[in-house]
Amino acid sequence: MKSQLLDALQLQFKPVSLLWQDEKPEKALEFKEGKWGCLMFHLVTAAKGRVAAISRSSYGCPGGGVGMGLGNCYEQFPGGKDAFFRFLSEGNKDIPGADMIATAMTEAGNKAMAREYLSGERYLKDADAARRFVEYLGPREIPAEYVVLRPLEEGDLDNPQVQSITLFVNPDQLSALTVLSHYEHPDKERVIVPFAAGCQAAGIALYNEQKREFPRAIVGMIDISARINVRHLLPKDMLSFSLTPAMFKELESNVEGCFLQRDNWRQLMTEKK
């Protein structure tokens, strides 16, 4: 699509639209039912020009299902949601039956997850902190059969099916987007970096922002596990920047006459090359 904002940013990858749809697009990539997978693969694949679909039977991992708004999928985690809270924090090694679950994970070919199931990812201090995180995130059921990820198209900013737009950005581009987000409203908090899984930053965290008078953009890819999963697909210094279509339109409307057309930004873009 034609965009002064995108022209100025000179992104390496395409912006990604996240849509709620009842029909799966033809030839859309999708995880096999019940198979584990990181939804960041789909998000990056969309940024490289493909289309991916996610359903209640193909969300890859519980965090991904929650992140796309497909219900409280943590209840389906091996051992239940309490086991997930411990998985995210101190681990399940002292819980009866945990060894059997870890063995089954290993036999299914996921040794790393089996190890972390017992020892914990240690991303949060304890299971209570993990429980509070999930409550704050607020698992929900979206009113659609599929979440679709695809490159941004002409008309997406006015398409009611589009719930968020995600850009993969380097530090210079993140700086520009943060400054431009406050260009018209410097007295408002317009960009946040919350604790969330990589896919959740583009999904449910942004869905929740739509309730606010001034929805904030979400900086994502601070999820260490997600960064490992897509290390071979993205440059090491890349983060995600997710925003509502309305906020994208606001930023687009403010490009004319702003710093993106001045020497400081041109210097950064020249040095990048």
Can you say how many angstroms the Cα of residue 167 is from the centroid of all Cα atoms in its chain? 10
pLDDT in tens, 201-259: 999 999 999 989 999 999 999 999 999 999 999 999 999 999 999 999 999 999 999 99
Confidence of residue 104 (pLDDT cuts 50, 70, 90): very high
Closest CA to 178 of 238, 223, 241: 241
pLDDT in tens, 161-179: 999 999 999 999 999 999 9
- Residue type at 188 in one-letter notation: K
What does pTM read for this prediction? 0.94
Confidence of residue 1 (pLDDT cuts 50, 70, 90): confident
pLDDT in tens, 28-55: 999 998 888 899 999 999 999 999 999 9
Q: What's the pLDDT at 220?
A: 97
Q: What's the pLDDT at 272?
A: 58
Closest CA to 265 of 1, 3, 81, 5: 5
Whether pLDDT at 61 is above 60: yes
pLDDT in tens, 113-151: 899 999 999 999 999 999 999 999 999 999 999 999 999
Q: Tell me if 118 sits within 8 A of 99, measured CB to CB.
A: yes
Burial class (CB in 10 A: 0-12, 13-18, 19+), 263: exposed
The strands making up 146-151's β-sheet, listed across from edge to edge, are: 52-54, 146-151, 16-21, 162-169, 239-243, 217-220, 191-192
Q: What's the pLDDT at 35?
A: 85
Whether pLDDT at 270 is above 90: no
Whether pLDDT at 110 is above 90: no
Q: What's the pLDDT at 273?
A: 54
Whether pLDDT at 271 is above 90: no
